[in-house]
Chains A and B, each alone.
Chain A
């Protein structure tokens, strides 16, 4: 299968995991990586810089309607929802919060699932609310690959457990297993 994108959602306890995953990705990683991570609404700077420090691929906060490129990671900007539109474009939105969150992991996952169907890999990491569960279900319904971080390893289990309750996922993986899965992707 030739995938088109990887999308990762996380909240409390996910920062270290995302950092570790990004640091293991080779510069030649063949897909765009979308990161929808809960963050403070009013803190605009610092997060993308922190994620960039050890990342193997460039990490940036996209501008509205930016084209996604392979081998780059796109972090949902503070206080915006990040949608994936057709034709590999990112669209931002200031619509109402969903599950008290903006960015909403559900909205990023649902729009990516609609854009990429079975050619999407969706990953839910540690987090403290149920955001992302509906989104991961949509990835599954549209034929994409679904991965949830092993709750035993999660700093906060609510997000992964909510996802597991709603969807029969393809893989429950530790961080290291997620990494070995991703680096084999084409």
Chain B
């Protein structure tokens, strides 16, 4: 495997900015480097020069490129205690307070693990028709993969264990079929989900969301981009809307009470602060 140097990475970022007007400057360096190196292995690209040429000349390659750069969730029902909290506390209280549908947004889906987990939770509780879900992805390839329902079989063992800890009412295997080592999830779960390709600068975000599920995505940005994305997420939330981030992601300024207040500290759940 070729190890990319910092000069190579800067050149790749510059090229993407020039050709596609996408700016990866403020992505976290180490993980971005790893994603690029992994992509090169997967596409048989042996050196940085070849990657640069492909980026300049093979324009349709950019969509799968965006798909490969994004990091999928590790498994379904990651952090079962969060999913239990959603089922037992968040939704009952949100449903009691709202007459209309609860608008939910998942900004950066890659494998759809979070989306399918949410859909299973809502189906089992009979709430699927009480919400409207928008799932976005940075690539069309990502949207296609989620719609198709395919999923890596090796992630199912941990997912099954998580589902048990979530106290789901069935077996997780009730929601997928295996075919030649590839799993296909039951796509009817996501029939009502609206899909939308999101620009990486978030400028076409859906608005007025009651709940945003954005876990373990901020870790792939540096603090500058984290701040910017958090501001855009804040804007796209409805009054006192809820944002869920990854367990070890921290919202700067939350303790000083700027934009968000803590709703559930151990599960990293925040509420949009009302303007003073």
Interface, chain A (partner B; CB < 8 A):
41-42, 44, 61-66, 77, 79-80, 83-86, 91-95, 102, 111
Contact = CB atoms under 8 A, between A and B. Distances in A.
Contact of B219 (A84, A93, A102, A111): A93
Nearest to A111: B30
Given A41-B158, A42-B162, A95 B31 contact: yes
Given A41-B158, A85-B29, A111-B30, A93 B248 contact: no
Given A94-B216, A95-B31, A95-B71, A61 B248 contact: yes
B158 A94 contact: no
A95 to B, nearest CB: 5
B28 interface: yes
Interface residues of B, number: 28
A97 B31 CA distance: 14
Contacts of B216: 94
A95 B223 CA distance: 19
A102 B30 contact: no
B78 A64 contact: no
A65 to B, nearest CB: 6
3 cross-chain pairs, A with B, having the tightest CB-CB distances, nearest first:
A63-B250, A83-B30, A64-B219
A95 B34 contact: yes
Given A61-B248, A85-B29, A95-B71, A79 B34 contact: no
Nearest to B80: A42
A77 B30 contact: no
B161 A91 contact: no
